[in-house]
């Protein structure tokens, strides 16, 4: 008979695999992005994701287990779609919006899974694991908030079309670039909170 503890360890192994795939994907996303703020957001989340792997190893240890991964087919698929859309929209003003969408799909998957893992750790009375999983969950939510702020500020606007761009782009501004503004500063402050 499988138990909640089995399910917990199973999902833990799924995320251990997912996070290591995301570590390989984030530098590619950062390289593909043409918006400096988006590049930076990906680089910041890469550092956080490296921390997630370390934290997951501690969670495994808190259950008396060695860290092990089990192929996360969802992450494999989401990252593959991300690669495809990045290739399709290369050179397009909508590229950054496409990269944000791909990254948000991954973050939402992580948020859903870490939300479950955090709840289960509490139900299993593993307070150490619950604390570590809550820390990861919060960073995934922050990453999603930053991506939202970037998407809402200017990127999607830049993707609206040539006419819009020609009229709204002031000198020295590349298409798809993010203009510095209040939203960007609040994004930076979100990044600095943790
Ligand atoms: Zn993560
Ligand atoms: Fe998975
Ligand atoms: Fe993430």
> Which segment of 27-31, 142-146, 184-188 scores lowest on mean pLDDT?
184-188
Contact 16, 35 (CB under 8 A): no
Cα(123) to centroid(ligand 2), Å:
21
Cα(129) to centroid(ligand 3), Å:
18
Q: Which CATH class is domain 4-193?
A: mainly alpha
pLDDT in tens, 51-88: 999 999 999 999 999 999 999 999 999 999 999 999 99
pLDDT in tens, 102-111: 999 999 999 9
169's torsion region: left (phi>0), alpha (psi -120 to 50) or beta? beta
Predicted confidence (pLDDT) at residue 183 exceeds the cutoff of 50: no
d(CA 150, CA 158): 12
Predicted confidence (pLDDT) at residue 188 exceeds the cutoff of 50: no
Domain residue limits, the chain: 4-193
Cα(143) to centroid(ligand 3), Å:
7
Helical H segments across 63-94, by residue range: 73-88
In this structure, which ligand is nearest to the CA of 107? 3
User: How far does CA 191 lie from the centroid of its chain?
Assistant: 13
Predicted confidence (pLDDT) at residue 187 exceeds the cutoff of 70: no
Cα(63) to centroid(ligand 3), Å:
23
Cα(114) to centroid(ligand 1), Å:
9
The confidence score (pLDDT) of residue 153 equals 78
């Amino acid at each position: 008979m499988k138990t909640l503890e089995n399910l917990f360890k199973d999902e833990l192994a799924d995320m251990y695999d997912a996070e290591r795939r995301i570590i390989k994907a984030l530098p590619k996303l950062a390289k593909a992005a043409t918006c400096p703020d988006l590049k930076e957001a990906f680089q910041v989340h890469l550092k956080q994701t490296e921390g997630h792997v370390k934290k997951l190893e501690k969670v495994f240890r808190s259950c008396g287990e060695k860290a092990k991964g089990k192929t996360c087919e969802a992450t494999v698929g989401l990252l593959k779609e991300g690669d495809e859309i990045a290739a399709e929209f290369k050179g397009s003003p909508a590229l950054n919006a496409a990269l944000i969408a791909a990254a948000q799909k991954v973050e939402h998957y992580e948020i859903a899974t870490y939300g479950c893992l955090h709840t289960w750790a509490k139900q299993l009375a593993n307070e150490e694991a619950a604390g570590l999983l809550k820390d990861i969950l919060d960073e995934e939510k922050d990453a999603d908030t930053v991506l939202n702020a970037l998407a809402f500020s200017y990127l999607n606007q830049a993707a609206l079309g040539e006419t819009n761009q020609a009229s709204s782009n002031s000198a020295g501004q590349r298409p798809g670039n993010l203009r510095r503004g209040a939203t960007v500063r609040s994004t930076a402050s979100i990044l600095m909170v943790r």
